[in-house]
Amino acid sequence: MYITVEPAGLMMHTVKLVFDPSDPAAEDQQVRDYLNEHELEPRYHWFAEIDGLEGRECEIMQFGGCYLGRNLQNIGLIQRRVVEDELLTAEIERHLAAGTLDGLAAAPEPLRVEAIASLIDEFRVEESFGQDDAGELRATLDVETLQQAAARVLASAAEG
């Protein structure tokens, strides 16, 4: 899903939420759930091809910016959290592949999955993220800090 914001007259704007059913994003269902929980109904709702995604029919929900209000920030936070989780997962997996997390790599699959989820929760803080050379968000985890956290999480999971 992505969001477009367009001018819609004097001091007003239109917000479109665009979903690609042929390639659903990780946050799509969470955003739909949020809209339902907050009883937010789009002004217009249709399916169409859009620029950049020719040949794929997307679902488009259009809202008035004032109607969505602060809910737009919350929807953006849902997107950011999903991106952060994906970046942290990739960074942890990069360290696993590099052999710097031997204890985690040796753990049985269910324990490893649980430990990675705990590590993601722990490292989902501002200090874990920066920008790459292209200005894109990226996760950067200190190897030693990650190793200590992984050992602690594995020990805690083994006890529990």
The residue from 44, 69, 94 where one domain ends is 69
Q: Is residue 8 part of a domain?
A: yes
Residues in Cβ contact with 57 at an 8 Å cutoff, skipping those fewer than 6 apart: 21, 22, 47, 48, 49
Q: What was the pLDDT predicted at 155?
A: 87
The residue range of the domain holding 110 is 82-159
- What backbone torsions phi and psi does residue 6 show, to the nearest 5 degrees? -130, 150
Q: What was the pLDDT predicted at 125?
A: 94
- What backbone torsions phi and psi does residue 147 show, to the nearest 5 degrees? -60, -45
Shared domain for 143 and 101, answered yes or no, is yes
Calculate mean pLDDT across residues 66-79.
93
Shared domain for 148 and 90, answered yes or no, is yes
Shared domain for 87 and 154, answered yes or no, is yes
Shared domain for 86 and 153, answered yes or no, is yes
Shared domain for 54 and 98, answered yes or no, is no
Mean pLDDT over all residues of the chain? 91
Calculate mean pLDDT across residues 61-89.
94
In the three-class reduction of DSSP (H, G, I as helix; E, B as strand; rest coil), residue 140 is classed as coil
Q: Please, are residues 16 and 6 in contact by the beta-carbon 8 Å criterion?
A: yes
Q: Is the predicted pLDDT of residue 160 greater than 70, yes or no?
A: no
Confidence of residue 146 (pLDDT cuts 50, 70, 90): very high
Confidence of residue 54 (pLDDT cuts 50, 70, 90): confident
Shared domain for 95 and 145, answered yes or no, is yes
Which tokens hold the place of 91? 């960074």
Q: For the segment 123-134, what is each residue's pLDDT rounded down to a tens digit?
A: 999 999 999 899
Q: Is residue 75 part of a domain?
A: no
The residue from 69, 99, 122 where one domain ends is 69
Shared domain for 87 and 151, answered yes or no, is yes
The residue from 69, 101, 127 where one domain ends is 69
Q: For the segment 11-47, what is each residue's pLDDT rounded down to a tens digit?
A: 889 999 999 988 899 999 999 999 999 999 999 999 9
Question: 61 forms bridges with which residues in the sheet?
Answer: 17, 45
The DSSP-derived string for 5-32 is EEE-STT-EEEEEEE-TTS--TTHHHHH
Shared domain for 64 and 92, answered yes or no, is no
- What backbone torsions phi and psi does residue 3 show, to the nearest 5 degrees? -120, 135
Shared domain for 143 and 112, answered yes or no, is yes
Q: What was the pLDDT predicted at 46?
A: 96
Shared domain for 91 and 154, answered yes or no, is yes
Residues in Cβ contact with 25 at an 8 Å cutoff, skipping those fewer than 6 apart: 1, 19, 82
Shared domain for 40 and 15, answered yes or no, is yes
Shared domain for 94 and 154, answered yes or no, is yes
The number of domains in the chain is: 2
